[in-house]
Amino acid sequence: MGEMILCRRPIAATPFYIEETSLNIYSLEELSYYIAENVYLLDGSLMTSELCNWIGRELSLKDLERELLDMLSENAPLHVFIEKLLRETGYLTGQEIKNVTEIISSFENKSEMERGKIRSDRLFEKGKYIEAIYEYEALLSSDQVENAGEGLLGDIYHNLGASYGRLFFFSQSAQAFEKAYQHNRKEVSLRALLYTFKCMRDGDGFSAMVKKYHVPREIEQDVLSQIEGITSGENVTEFGRKVSAMERSGNPEDNMEITQAILEDWKRDYCAYCGIN
């Protein structure tokens, strides 16, 4: 799992397999770690008799098995079930357990579409843009779309556009932002749409969107001003000066070394965003 976990309780000879993440769990400590690290991805699929029986059979915790099975039979909420597991293990602090259960409890009062968006947003926040795109696209192609409100759909499309934009897929990003604005009518989505056309250096497209959605003059000018401020910022101009200096240099080997270092940095960052090893 990426770090050493001290296990004070029995280790299972046969692991518990979590299908959603293709992961084998050998102890309650590992299970607690998994829950804490993936709290935004949890759902009722973890709350099963198979897990309870595994705890009793493989970890020899018969009392805990019975208590968890009783919870299942009583249709206890997921956050109550998870809290019992975490407190029995003692791997997380009391405050950490409270944080986890509060997040899970908040999920239980939301629709499946809302829960899916929160999980997808979490992937986006962690810089896992490819995974986020897959999740947003899956939500938008699911049966839940019919019952989702226009605002929620617009917000999902907006974050899908942001995910594409982080990977420089500006054409797909613009399509998503336009759908976002059509659903939620939020200024932030309209601005993102206009910014994306400027990133594509598509002046005609920018003007077409301004005309199509009757963008107020002050918003149009503010977007252009923001773009001007970014492109004339110190980081951008400094990079331009370095490129100009290399062009004037009489040592192509030095230039190649500097260029290669820059490209390697860009490649490393982009591969990380795309989840490429």
Looking at the fold, whether 36 and 83 belong to one and the same domain comes out as: yes
What digits encode the pLDDT tens for the residues 181-224?
Answer: 999 999 999 999 999 999 999 999 999 999 999 999 999 999 99
What digits encode the pLDDT tens for the residues 216-264?
Answer: 999 999 999 998 887 776 666 676 676 777 666 666 666 676 677 777 7
The model's pTM: 0.69
Looking at the fold, whether 117 and 177 belong to one and the same domain comes out as: yes
Looking at the fold, whether 101 and 70 belong to one and the same domain comes out as: yes
Pair 166, 194: CB distance under 8 Å:
no
What contacts 157, CB < 8 A, 6 or more positions away?
Answer: 136, 140, 176, 177, 179, 180, 183, 184, 189
Which domain covers residue 32, as residue numbers? 16-108
Looking at the fold, whether 189 and 259 belong to one and the same domain comes out as: no
Number of structural domains the chain divides into: 3
145: which 2 tokens?
């779309």
Looking at the fold, whether 118 and 67 belong to one and the same domain comes out as: no
